[in-house]
Structure 1
Amino acid sequence: MIVGTDVIPSISSYFAVLPGVNMSKVLPTCVLLLATSANADLFSKATRTKADERDLRNSVFDFIIIGGGTAGCVLANRLSAISDWKVLLLEAGIDENIDYDIPGVPTKEYRPILWNYRSERNGYSCLSRPGGSCEIKTGKVLGGSSVTNDMKYTRGSKADYDGWHSTGALGSLDWKFDGVIEHFKSVEDNGDYDVLMNSHYHARGGEMHVQRFKHADRYMEIFTAAFTEMGLRTLDINTNIQEAVVNNQFAISNNTRLSTNSAFLKPVRHRKNLQVVTGAYVTKIVIDKQEKNVDGVIYEVEKGKERPAYAKREIILAAGAINNVRLLHLSGIGPKADIKKHNITLIVDLPVGQNYQDQVTIGGLAFVLNDVPVVTEAEVINDFKTWFQNRSGPLASRGIAQVSAFIQLYENFNAPDVELALEGNFIRSDKFMLTNVSVHAAEETNLPLSYYNLVNINPVLLRPKSRGKVMLNKRNPKYGRPVVQANFLKESEDLDTLVDSIDIALQLLETKEFKKTDIKFAPLDLFPCDRLSNRDQWNCIARHYTKAMSNPVGTCRMGENSTNSVVDYQLRVHGIEGLRIIDASVMPTHARGGIFAPTMMIAEKGAKMIIKDWKENNGHYYNRR
């Protein structure tokens, strides 16, 4: 469809009454948006009705946030707090429901609320996983991965953030640990008074309530005591320490999961200047090729039925390290060779999709608890009733997963290298049959996390050296699953770190606590590694039974120039005006913990940057390029 000249005066008159709208920018944008919209016929045939006027007005916003995940919900809260700013939040997933709020229920298995990505086959990792590739599960729901993650509140170490500083790049100074600690604290509401005593690191009053679970079981105490026997102290890992056995803090309120949706977005959904659209799949960021500034977005609520939205000030991309790449490449922003391959017009040549990193762990390191009674269906039903009635009981916890140990293997940095993360599972098998249980079966969650007779220890590589790449799907770039060349364990140093940490975990078997309780190493079926022994066997297990932690970062890394980074230290995309990226994809390297807390920090800091630029600097902060 071609928009006729008789339509343009009507469009112009609609926008003329909107304050702060630059008509020289709006007019060509509207023509483009309407021409690409499936609903464009409505405007071309009858542009003078009140309904059309309302539709067009309703498509104009000050800020458009793409992605209602961990970062997007924080951003929507902060930007819509400015009453004269109109904010649109677009989320591809659905709203969360109460089923996802039960701490003992592993939401990472709820496929309808997940982006179910897979890494490409390679020769270094995931060899015995289905298809020879690893699953990468990130949240596709309001709240994003804060709905599907393990809820742990771990920030990483001072060395991580100080490492983001680049000598000579003044803007990077703000990202050193001393520059970000205030943003961690401003969103935090810490409920453990012994932790709050360290006011340099912790605070009260933020939206995200964090604390330990009150429900602790016998085996939590046994494993904690065993790690203590090995020399680890019980400490708060978020106070820049190198080693500890930790009773973790979690994002919970009244023994209920607290996502960024429930903490930041739900309380402000009533704001008249905030519009939230779920099931919205964004297919393109519309960019003025001459001016190199963003105009709006095209999104679909139904496949093939496009809708336009126009941004007067900025578009903020917060769709995650994989989805950001898909959308930027489709919009003409990315490596020249990758963009041209799909016959997409190149707008800016940037290393979008490079520097992919994800933390990994392995299966096969499991311990059997011999005196755990069989859990009956009646018990489980009764425990669900208990949680729904008064938010208590076994389901008001994560079981043994509340405990983990952080280990410093090397002395290069004052920071841990590996987290030994514990996870329980209930295997319906007698001792004899356990020898026929595969690694996959030992990992499959059969009951809520509170019930277990097997403890998997997952050695998590906190700071991977291996780097990968994300690209568009070759056959179906618009709707197909992006290609993730993860390259897990490509660097031999990553493999060595994992295997070194396994040696430490196996020392648990020699502790008095384990011997007294008769905790044994689980005799799992480790094919094809069963004929090997010692370090060779664990090298084999690591390569065959690799697991992605689904904490991807780095694909839109921040930096000083467009050669090796995608955004500057103000999180603005190099070479494009009005486009920022604010989520974990901007992290140059991993923080030594989960990405939940760091992503909230990045969103809080990014929101303050935006407010400062548009309120204090009157929007005159971009250099015309």
Structure 2
Amino acid sequence: MKFCDILSKIVPISLLLLSPADGDLFSKATRTKADERDVRNSVFDFIIIGGGTAGCLLANRLSAVSDWKVLLLEAGIDENIDYDIPGVPSKEYRPILWNYRTERNGYSCLSRPGGSCEVKTGKVLGGSSVTNDMKYTRGSKVDYDGWHSTGALASLDWKFDAVLEHFKSIEDNGDYDVLMNSHYHSRGGDMHVQRFKHVDRYMEVFTAGFTEMGLRTVDINTNVQEAVVNNQFTIFNNTRLSTNSAFLKPVRHRKNLQVITGAYVSKIVIDKQENNVDGVIYEVEKGKERPAYAKREIILAAGAINNVRLLQLSGIGPKADLKRHNITMIADLPVGHNYQDQVTIGGLAFVLSDVPVVTEAEVINDFKTWFQNRSGPLASRGIGQVSAFIQLYENFNAPDVELALEGNFIRSDKFMLTNVSVHAAEETNLPLPYYNLVNINPVLLRPKSRGKVMLNKRNPKYGRPVVQANFLKETEDLDTLVDSIDIALQLLDTKEFKKADIKFAPLDLFPCDRLSNRDQWNCIARHYTKAMSNPVGTCRMGENSTNSVVDYQLRVHGIEGLRIIDASVMPTHARAGIFAPTMMIAEKGAKMIIKDWKENNGHYYNRR
């Protein structure tokens, strides 16, 4: 019988557990009525760890079953209206970010501060859906089909034709030309998706330039290889729509749903004899531990880096890594292996010739316009609305690189006479719609390089996990980026660019400034690498416990009652950002849970 199945049996059992130092939920204490009441209030059917992109959606779907009690634990704060303005970049706002850094290596990030790259994911209700670019891209058919393993029947459920229904069940598409293709798109879901109506002159110039180079303007989410795209975004009424605002806020009133912010989960408590989960220990104040019990399942949705920390602290991970920290091993699984993140580079930028200086009064007035009627320049992402997807190689019917555009305003009247550093060209000085410089970021959509995440050596419980990213370790990744730069530079030869007098920006490219051609771009890529903060793979799904952490039902191998449902289970990237794929995984995962508990006679099946 599973722990916590019957409340009357929980109370006496819980009060006999060992101290937190021994890894259990309660210290020894005298039994009182207050103790019993606290225990009852701490019992839930499902505990979701992480109120991010996946967690908010899961909380919505599971709490829709009225007789299930659901707890959502989020380490960050609640979302605030400042993050709702599309033109305001929230990716740099540190209070709502987990600010990780990769370890130094000889392959990448060499001229970034400390010789390492930042990896910034959301630490807020809604997670990275509050801090990302809101771009709605799903990836290609070949990527999802590649998650299928021959001989593993359950993996067939992850092929593209099978997951498409979950993409569509979430989506409420507001662009009627896109909706014409009803095979790929739908109306009526919780997440509204559409293009911004605000289009400026340079968006049209760059789109025309790519079109002149031979790219079609088509919907990238219909499984095409190449396109120049005026992207769709997760917005409603020109306002950011995070998974918190789309899925969680509308159901926060449900009596069977409890949401706790500022909750740092330090351990998943597992019955070592039964190999099933009992509950979690979390802290709202550092050092003051609180328990919560799970009658049915614990769902881990804390992201590809934080999942590793929590699983390894709980005794689930590679035997050697756990032994190094004197952690008792419960399950020997490759937690933290197979780390992947999409990367881009700095240094590829174009300067616009006739952009007037933006005044403070103008910006303030535009803010007023947005707050009053959700319109004006701030109801857009500027040039960032446009990107081009490029297929460099013939191996797959899918793009290899996204040329993502990002505007910035450089405060220099003599810009063409002054060398500006790569870092200065990337720093955001004004809201996104105001720019006189366009950075072209060639995004490696399907990196080959693999890394590893491990516990902090000095402070495994509270310290930042060690991220050995190994960006650009595989030369194929470097070659792909540099090949795409050659294509981006062809824009300068188009009639559209010459007519608009757009030129290559004279950035200070030290220490690569004395090199030329391909050697210079190889050097720039190694020195000015930038992580896209789209980490996946550390808890990958698969058929067995040798090379995967969860099965194709997202259940942790060998542990009953524990699932992982977020981007960390992806074996590889889909050729897109991870936002839309993560929502799809959460939607599919929620349906799996409901099927297991509602259709399978209320039992959790964990066949291995």
TM-score when normalising by structure 2: 0.97
Alpha carbons of structure 1 residues 86 and 222: separation in structure 2 relative to 1, 3 Å: same
Name the CA distance, whole Å, in 2 between partners of 1:44 and 1:478: 19
Aligned counterpart, 2:369: 386
Alpha carbons of structure 1 residues 24 and 570: separation in structure 2 relative to 1, 3 Å: farther
Alpha carbons of structure 1 residues 43 and 508: separation in structure 2 relative to 1, 3 Å: closer
User: Does the 8 A contact of 2:140 with 2:398 survive in 1?
Assistant: yes
User: Does the 8 A contact of 1:434 with 1:524 survive in 2?
Assistant: no
Q: 1:555-570 residue pairs with structure 2 within 5 A? A: 555-570=538-553
User: Does the 8 A contact of 2:137 with 2:577 survive in 1?
Assistant: yes
User: Does the 8 A contact of 2:155 with 2:552 survive in 1?
Assistant: yes
Alpha carbons of structure 1 residues 453 and 284: separation in structure 2 relative to 1, 3 Å: same
Name the CA distance, whole Å, in 2 between partners of 1:306 and 1:226: 58
Name the CA distance, whole Å, in 2 between partners of 1:25 and 1:348: 27
Name the CA distance, whole Å, in 1 between partners of 2:25 and 2:217: 65
User: Does the 8 A contact of 1:406 with 1:416 survive in 2?
Assistant: yes
Alpha carbons of structure 1 residues 432 and 452: separation in structure 2 relative to 1, 3 Å: closer
User: Does the 8 A contact of 2:57 with 2:587 survive in 1?
Assistant: yes
Alpha carbons of structure 1 residues 228 and 334: separation in structure 2 relative to 1, 3 Å: same
User: Does the 8 A contact of 2:20 with 2:27 survive in 1?
Assistant: no
Alpha carbons of structure 1 residues 493 and 42: separation in structure 2 relative to 1, 3 Å: closer
Alpha carbons of structure 1 residues 313 and 223: separation in structure 2 relative to 1, 3 Å: same
User: Does the 8 A contact of 2:74 with 2:260 survive in 1?
Assistant: yes
Name the CA distance, whole Å, in 2 between partners of 1:89 and 1:434: 54
Name the CA distance, whole Å, in 1 between partners of 2:28 and 2:471: 55
- Shift of residue 55 of structure 1? 1.8
Alpha carbons of structure 1 residues 428 and 575: separation in structure 2 relative to 1, 3 Å: same
SS at match of 1:445: coil
- Shift of residue 47 of structure 1? 6.5
- Shift of residue 580 of structure 1? 0.1
1:117 paired residue among 96, 100, 108: 100
1:202 paired residue among 176, 185, 189: 185
User: Does the 8 A contact of 2:451 with 2:468 survive in 1?
Assistant: yes
TM-score when normalising by structure 1: 0.94
Name the CA distance, whole Å, in 2 between partners of 1:488 and 1:571: 27
Q: Kindly provide the CA deviation profile for residues 417-437 of structure 1, in whole angstroms up to 9, marking residues without a partner as x.
A: 000000000000133565321
Name the CA distance, whole Å, in 2 between partners of 1:292 and 1:223: 57
Q: Kindly provide the CA deviation profile for residues 42-74 of structure 1, in whole angstroms up to 9, marking residues without a partner as x.
A: 998996765443322110000000000000000
- Shift of residue 361 of structure 1? 0.1
Name the CA distance, whole Å, in 1 between partners of 2:304 and 2:12: 31
Q: Kindly provide the CA deviation profile for residues 140-197 of structure 1, in whole angstroms up to 9, marking residues without a partner as x.
A: 0000000000000000000000000000000000000011000000000000000000
User: Does the 8 A contact of 1:233 with 1:245 survive in 2?
Assistant: yes
Alpha carbons of structure 1 residues 143 and 430: separation in structure 2 relative to 1, 3 Å: same
User: Does the 8 A contact of 1:38 with 1:306 survive in 2?
Assistant: no
SS at match of 2:154: helix
Alpha carbons of structure 1 residues 163 and 434: separation in structure 2 relative to 1, 3 Å: farther
Alpha carbons of structure 1 residues 46 and 285: separation in structure 2 relative to 1, 3 Å: closer
User: Does the 8 A contact of 1:163 with 1:176 survive in 2?
Assistant: yes
User: Does the 8 A contact of 1:39 with 1:306 survive in 2?
Assistant: no
Name the CA distance, whole Å, in 2 between partners of 1:205 and 1:29: 46
User: Does the 8 A contact of 2:555 with 2:606 survive in 1?
Assistant: no
User: Does the 8 A contact of 2:23 with 2:269 survive in 1?
Assistant: no
- Shift of residue 620 of structure 1? 2.8
- Shift of residue 619 of structure 1? 3.3
Q: Kindly provide the CA deviation profile for residues 347-380 of structure 1, in whole angstroms up to 9, marking residues without a partner as x.
A: 0000000000000000000000010000000000
Alpha carbons of structure 1 residues 432 and 70: separation in structure 2 relative to 1, 3 Å: closer
User: Does the 8 A contact of 2:96 with 2:124 survive in 1?
Assistant: yes
- Shift of residue 288 of structure 1? 0.5
- Shift of residue 408 of structure 1? 0.1
Q: Kindly provide the CA deviation profile for residues 506-527 of structure 1, in whole angstroms up to 9, marking residues without a partner as x.
A: 0000000000010000000000
Count of residues in correspondence between the two structures? 603
Q: Kindly provide the CA deviation profile for residues 540-587 of structure 1, in whole angstroms up to 9, marking residues without a partner as x.
A: 000000000000000000000000000000000000000000000000
Aligned counterpart, 1:19: none
SS at match of 2:350: strand
User: Does the 8 A contact of 1:42 with 1:52 survive in 2?
Assistant: no
User: Does the 8 A contact of 1:328 with 1:334 survive in 2?
Assistant: yes
Aligned counterpart, 1:14: none
User: Does the 8 A contact of 2:17 with 2:25 survive in 1?
Assistant: no
Query: Which deviates more from structure 2 when the two are superposed, residues 609-618 or residues 40-49?
Result: 40-49
- Shift of residue 456 of structure 1? 0.2
Alpha carbons of structure 1 residues 81 and 416: separation in structure 2 relative to 1, 3 Å: same
- Shift of residue 30 of structure 1? 1.6
User: Does the 8 A contact of 1:37 with 1:308 survive in 2?
Assistant: no
Aligned counterpart, 2:379: 396
User: Does the 8 A contact of 2:25 with 2:280 survive in 1?
Assistant: no
Query: Which deviates more from structure 2 when the two are superposed, residues 434-443 or residues 363-372?
Result: 434-443
Query: Percent identity among equivalent residues?
Result: 92
User: Does the 8 A contact of 1:38 with 1:305 survive in 2?
Assistant: no
Q: Kindly provide the CA deviation profile for residues 243-289 of structure 1, in whole angstroms up to 9, marking residues without a partner as x.
A: 00000000000000000000000000000000000000000000001
Name the CA distance, whole Å, in 1 between partners of 2:487 and 2:16: 61
Is 1:486 matched up with 2:469?
Answer: yes
Alpha carbons of structure 1 residues 215 and 39: separation in structure 2 relative to 1, 3 Å: farther
SS at match of 2:507: coil
Aligned counterpart, 2:146: 163
Q: Kindly provide the CA deviation profile for residues 489-511 of structure 1, in whole angstroms up to 9, marking residues without a partner as x.
A: 00000000000000000000000
Alpha carbons of structure 1 residues 307 and 123: separation in structure 2 relative to 1, 3 Å: same
Name the CA distance, whole Å, in 1 between partners of 2:607 and 2:144: 31
Alpha carbons of structure 1 residues 301 and 242: separation in structure 2 relative to 1, 3 Å: same
Name the CA distance, whole Å, in 2 between partners of 1:205 and 1:51: 46
SS at match of 1:415: coil
- Shift of residue 31 of structure 1? 3.7
Query: Cα RMSD over matched residues?
Result: 2.0
Name the CA distance, whole Å, in 2 between partners of 1:71 and 1:47: 39
Aligned counterpart, 1:11: none
- Shift of residue 237 of structure 1? 0.2
User: Does the 8 A contact of 1:116 with 1:135 survive in 2?
Assistant: yes
Alpha carbons of structure 1 residues 32 and 217: separation in structure 2 relative to 1, 3 Å: farther
SS at match of 2:51: coil
Query: Which deviates more from structure 2 when the two are superposed, residues 44-53 or residues 95-104?
Result: 44-53
User: Does the 8 A contact of 1:43 with 1:52 survive in 2?
Assistant: no
Q: 1:462-473 residue pairs with structure 2 within 5 A? A: 462-473=445-456
Name the CA distance, whole Å, in 1 between partners of 2:548 and 2:32: 47
User: Does the 8 A contact of 1:47 with 1:53 survive in 2?
Assistant: no
- Shift of residue 33 of structure 1? 6.0
Name the CA distance, whole Å, in 1 between partners of 2:15 and 2:525: 55
- Shift of residue 382 of structure 1? 0.4
| Structure 2: gaps (5+ residues) | 1-5
User: Does the 8 A contact of 1:73 with 1:143 survive in 2?
Assistant: yes
| Structure 1: gaps (5+ residues) | 1-21
SS at match of 1:226: helix
Alpha carbons of structure 1 residues 240 and 23: separation in structure 2 relative to 1, 3 Å: same
2:9 paired residue among 25, 31, 52: 25
SS at match of 2:394: coil
Runs of 4 or more, structure 1, over 4 Å off, are 22-25, 37-51
Alpha carbons of structure 1 residues 517 and 304: separation in structure 2 relative to 1, 3 Å: same
User: Does the 8 A contact of 2:26 with 2:291 survive in 1?
Assistant: no
Name the CA distance, whole Å, in 2 between partners of 1:322 and 1:42: 24
Name the CA distance, whole Å, in 2 between partners of 1:374 and 1:424: 14
Alpha carbons of structure 1 residues 231 and 300: separation in structure 2 relative to 1, 3 Å: same
Name the CA distance, whole Å, in 1 between partners of 2:554 and 2:61: 16
Name the CA distance, whole Å, in 2 between partners of 1:282 and 1:320: 13
Alpha carbons of structure 1 residues 368 and 408: separation in structure 2 relative to 1, 3 Å: same
Q: Kindly provide the CA deviation profile for residues 378-400 of structure 1, in whole angstroms up to 9, marking residues without a partner as x.
A: 00000000000000000000000
SS at match of 2:357: coil
Name the CA distance, whole Å, in 1 between partners of 2:16 and 2:336: 27
- Shift of residue 623 of structure 1? 4.2
Alpha carbons of structure 1 residues 201 and 285: separation in structure 2 relative to 1, 3 Å: same
User: Does the 8 A contact of 1:185 with 1:203 survive in 2?
Assistant: yes
